[in-house]
Amino acid sequence: MITMSEKIICNNKKAYHDFFIEEKYEAGMVLTGTEVKSLRLGKANLNDSFALVKGGEAFLNNLHISPYAFGNRENHDPDRMRKLLLHKKEIVKLFAKVREQGYSLVPLRLYFKNGKVKVEMGLAKGKKLYDKREDLKKKDQKREMAQMFKDKHKG
């Protein structure tokens, strides 16, 4: 759900194609100054990123934030592991779920909310190939229905 105070940086459309999203969580991230500046320019990529829970803390891996163009030697490492800011109860719950068979913690979108960078995480279960095909069929049918409806009301 997008509110007026949110500005989306990037989405992970591949996550909805590859996983069934069962629950969603909002988390903050520990970032450096040049990372935030780069994010304001929209220089991020969520593809192939995932979250881990280890040592009672949650981390986001493979989130690529491009180096800031005007950052000097203080620039950040683009692919470093970033700590997620969640409540302890949420971390314990997520750790228990991820230990179960087939669950993953996948970032769905990255956005600014009231000036702070947030990441929406999804507790996801992997789709099988036939599930993906089923989704593509439904999408095609929906597109065809919309086209027929549009043509019918056009003339």
- pLDDT 10s digits, 72-117: 777 777 778 899 999 999 888 888 888 877 788 899 999 999 889 9
Asked whether the beta carbons of 63 and 107 are under 8 A apart, the reply is yes
Amino acid at 75: N
Q: Summarize the confidence of residues 116-132 as an average pLDDT.
A: 83
Q: Give the three-class secondary structure for 140.
A: helix
Q: How confident is the model at residue 120 (pLDDT cuts 50, 70, 90)?
A: very high
Q: How confident is the model at residue 143 (pLDDT cuts 50, 70, 90)?
A: confident
pLDDT digits (tens, 9 = 90+) for 10-53: 898 888 878 888 889 999 999 888 888 888 888 888 888 888 88
- Does the pTM surpass 0.75? The reply is no
Q: How confident is the model at residue 59 (pLDDT cuts 50, 70, 90)?
A: very high
Q: What is the pLDDT of residue 150?
A: 80
Q: Give the three-class secondary structure for 152.
A: helix
Q: Is 65 exposed, middle or buried (0-12, 13-18, 19+ CB in 10 A)?
A: buried
Domain ranges of the chain: 7-127
Beta bridge partners of 118: 28, 111
Q: Summarize the confidence of residues 117-131 as an average pLDDT.
A: 83
Asked whether the beta carbons of 15 and 105 are under 8 A apart, the reply is no
| CATH code given to domain 7-127 | 2.40.280.10
Amino acid at 57: E
The contacts of residue 117 (CB under 8 Å, 6+ apart) are 9, 28, 29, 31, 36, 39, 110, 111
Asked whether the beta carbons of 24 and 120 are under 8 A apart, the reply is yes
